[in-house]
Amino acid sequence: MGRLNVELSGITLDNPIIPASGTFGFGYEFAELYDINCLGTFSFKGTTKDKRFGNPTPRIAECESGIINSVGLQNPGVEKVISEELPRMRECFNKPVMANVSGFSIDEYVYTCQMLDSEEQIGWFEVNISCPNVHGGGMSFGTSPEAAAQVTEAVKKVTTKPVFIKLTPNVTDIVSIAKACEGAGADGISLINTMLGMRIDLNRKKPVVANKMGGFSGPAIKPIALRMVYQVYEAVNIPIIGMGGVSTAEDVIEFMLAGATAVQVGAANLVNPFACRDIINNLPEVMDRYRINLLSEIIGGAHNG
């Protein structure tokens, strides 16, 4: 294995850098700018059972140290993703890809994962449990250990690929939820998703985002994300994909020391479309500076001693 290689549920990545779902589309727009095969992999646009237009506009609000978005899972639906998006993706990306799946009921998660499971290019599922459970009073699946476990168990029954459960940070105890997912058969954990935030337009004296609130991401949430990755690493024995405010090679190493096997880059892609490529190119120099030989050897290193 090379200096940057890591193994994620039996699949070797050339490096741990993964563009986060919702910030990289289905890859082909970025492939017009650079060869995206330099990536470890990427998590494609959140996919649901049915086509979704998403939330009303405006959906984006800039912040001092991040960005708020309330896109609302706009996507063409799983059948169109399979028939149109995946073939186009294969033309520009020749590695296993991560399928990000969302749903508003357990049946929707099951249907979408079952449809995607036979697609050869999909290496892993990333199941986003930050969506409201429309049959459970509107609470997010990810806010309850019991609900998180139910989604995990149901998806595992219909899939043959590794399943990573993506957790919301908008909870009191993220560790109990991660442990419940592991107990229900999850192969890994992705964290964190966005925090809940808002901006108010002083001229209009109304919220900037039409949906009033949205997911807050960017550099400001990095300390929270690191803390949660660190805590979850101590509680589970399955790999972690860490994310939250990552924009440099130094950030990647910090997340890996906290316990992440791989690291996703989200909001940084919206600021600089070359962010992931630049991080990968900078990693060897930063590793040399901190006397790191192999990235795979530092996973969880901050827990030693």
Question: Catalytic residue numbers?
Answer: 131
Q: Which two tokens stand for residue 246?
A: 């990552």
Helical residues (DSSP H) of 117-236, grouped into ranges: 145-158, 174-183, 222-235
Helix (H, G, I), strand (E, B) or coil at 201: strand
- Tell me the backbone φ, ψ of residue 83, rounded to 5 degrees: -80, -30
Of 46, 108, 116, 51, which is closest to residue 77 (Cα–Cα)? 51
Say how far apart CA 84 and CA 63 lie, in whole Å.
Answer: 35
Do the strands 66-69 and 214-217 form a parallel or antiparallel pair, or are they unpaired? antiparallel
Which residue spans within 115-274 are E strands per DSSP?
A: 122-128, 163-166, 188-191, 195-197, 200-201, 206-207, 214-217, 240-243, 262-265
- The answer for residues whose C-beta is within 8 angstroms of residue 120's C-beta and 6 or more apart is none
Beta bridge partners of 19: 265
Which structure tokens are listed for 170?
């908008």
Question: With contact defined as beta carbons under 8 Å apart, do 264 and 244 qualify?
Answer: no
Tell me the C-alpha distance between 46 and 78, whole Å: 10
Q: Look up tokens 């860490």; give the residue.
A: 242
Q: Which residues contact 118 (CB under 8 A, 6 or more apart)?
A: none
